[in-house]
Structure 1
Amino acid sequence: MNRREAVRNVAFLMGGALSATTIGVFLEGCNSTSTKANSSLFTADQQKLVTEVADIIIPTTSSPGAKAAGVGPFITMMIKDCYPDDAQKAFTKGLEDLEKQAKDEYKKSFMELTVPQRQELLGKLRDVTVAATKAEKEKIDQQKAPETTSILPKDKPKMEPRFFSIIRDLTLLGYFTSEVGATQAYAFVEIPGRYDGNVPLKPGQKVWS
């Protein structure tokens, strides 16, 4: 199984933990419709910013964090190769807005902020994103669109792509499909024994990869 197949499988397993934008990308086969040259989508500073944001979402604890797992380059690669134009624009604008908010609130760039300041800033962004997504879903529900059993994105009401949702999704996907995430954040046995789907976990024990 290659990396792209692994990422797609994890996306389906995570299900409701992912935003509609990311689920749609994988259901449609990870085919970007962008007409913009991939090399010009992110500046060098923006690529560094993505890495630092991911490392706040999954920091180093008893196991290495997102930066150590190489999640930053994974995120920018996925945005360039898999996400449609509207999601790419929302993502790059989100990076610009995050930098502007850091300067407005702390008079510093995001890269100059302390870890607690970064956490506070991203916490606010998370809360705004959750509220906006909830309001949008309620509005769609009120429109009473015809019910469909299809799971294809083209048959579902389109949700607005949001920066925080996308970077959260790709941080989780990138981390838990990386070697670091699979072997150090999870309990890993290179040559496992028989399959047992009902193994009790002890308090504090890592989930099996």
Structure 2
Amino acid sequence: MNRRDAIKNLSLTFGVTIATPTLLSILNACSNNEQEWVPDYLNRTQEYMIRHLVDIMLPKSETPGGVELNIVQFIDKMIAHTMTKKDQQLFNQGYLEFDNTFHNIYKKVSLKGTKEDYKTLLEMYFNISEEKQQLIFKQLESNVLDLEKKPKLFIYKFLTTIRYYSLLGFYTSQEIMEGQLNYNANMGYYESCVDL
């Protein structure tokens, strides 16, 4: 056998061996089958609740909606991998308060809630006066949340976290950046010392 042919075949074999797992992972990432997704952080009730809230905050219109862009998966990853333990505890406490409020108002568990139920509850918290909004956001910025005195603040922390990560995921998704915002990652190149 010719030495050059042997080296060429060896390099092709090596390239195929390396490329195969990469190609399979890319094809799996493109799959939109929700049955395959296993959350890193969220439990089943949290995932169901957040899915409805994301659908209300970012509904499908002429642009893709939040659920269609898999924002729930993005929120799950962000909570699991970027939030501190303290922030995760605040998020969980807000979820529990929101879940209790849902149960008290509708007399059913959150997993039985409809999109309209969540929309009504969300409006209850965000259709408030400008002064109340400023006061709530000022209290949230202070990072001193006392459960006994202000349990509603945990709910606002929970809802604003979902809103923040929903918007972050939406505006940084490839489909929105390239398809709607006409983002161009190639900004050209820099030339120094050019005569004006």
TM-score bucket of the superposed structures, by smaller chain: 0.5 to 0.7
Residues 110 and 62 (structure 1), Cα distance of their counterparts in 2 relative to 1, 3 Å cut: farther
Q: Aligned partners of 2:101, 2:91: CA distance in 1, in Å?
A: 15
The C-alpha deviation readout for 1:81-106, integer Å capped at 9, x for no partner, is 11122211111222222222222111
**In 2, Cα distance between the equivalents of 1:66 and 1:115?**
14
When the two structures are aligned, how many residues end up with a matched partner? 138
Give, in whole Å, the separation in 2 of the partners of 1:49 and 1:87: 19
Structure with more of its chain in helix, by fraction: 2
Task: State the Cα distance separating 1:174 from its structure 2 match.
Answer: 0.6
1:94 aligns with 2:94: yes
- Give 1:114's aligned residue: 114
Matches of 2:122 and 2:57 in 1, distance apart? 9
Report SS of the residue matched to 2:166: helix
- For residues 85-138 of structure 1, the C-alpha deviation after alignment (integer angstroms, 9 at most, x for no partner) is 22111112222222222221112333433333211111223357x83762573x
**Secondary structure at the residue paired with 1:63?**
coil
Residue 188 (str. 1) matches residue 185 (str. 2): no
How far apart are the structure 1 equivalents of 2:183 and 2:170? 18
Cα distance between partner residues in 2 of 1:118 and 1:157: 28
Task: Please say which of residues 119-128 and 82-91 is displaced more in the overlay.
Answer: 119-128
Aligned residue in 2 for 1:45: 45
Matched, 1:168 2:163: yes
Determine the structure 1 residue equivalent to 2:68. Answer: 68
How far did 1:179 drift? 2.4
Q: Which range is displaced more, 158-167 or 115-124?
A: 158-167
Secondary structure of 1:50's aligned partner = helix
Summarize the Cα distance change of 1:47–1:117 in structure 2 as closer, same or farther, 3 Å threshold: closer
Distance between the aligned counterparts of 1:164 and 1:82, measured in 2? 17
Which residue matches 1:105?
105
Q: Cα distance 1:106–1:132, how it changes in 2: closer, same or farther (>3 A)?
A: same
Write out the 4+ residue segments of structure 1 that deviate beyond 4 Å after TM superposition.
Answer: 156-161, 189-194
| Structure 1 residues 107 and 56, CA gap change in structure 2 (3 angstroms) | same
Check the 8 A contact 2:102/2:121 in 1, yes or no. yes
- Kept after mapping to 1: 8 A contact 2:45/2:111: no
User: Compared with structure 1, are the counterparts of its residues 190 and 45 closer, same or farther at alpha carbon in structure 2 (3 Å cutoff)?
Assistant: same
TM-score of the superposition, structure 1-length normalised? Answer: 0.53
TM-superposition CA deviations, 1:125-168 (whole Å, max 9, x none): 3357x83762573x79xxxxxxxxxxxxxxx9646571111111
Q: Structure 1 residues 189 and 85 mapped into 2: Cα distance closer, same or farther (>3 Å)?
A: closer
Structure 2: runs of 5 or more not aligned: 1-38, 146-153, 189-196
| TM-fit CA distance, 1:187 | 4.2
For residues 42-101 of structure 1, what are the alpha-carbon distances to aligned partners after superposition, in whole Å with 9 as ceiling and x for unaligned?
Answer: 323322322222111111122221111010011111111111222111112222222222
Shift of the 169–104 alpha-carbon distance from structure 1 to 2, 3 Å rule, reads same
Residue 134 of structure 1 corresponds to 135
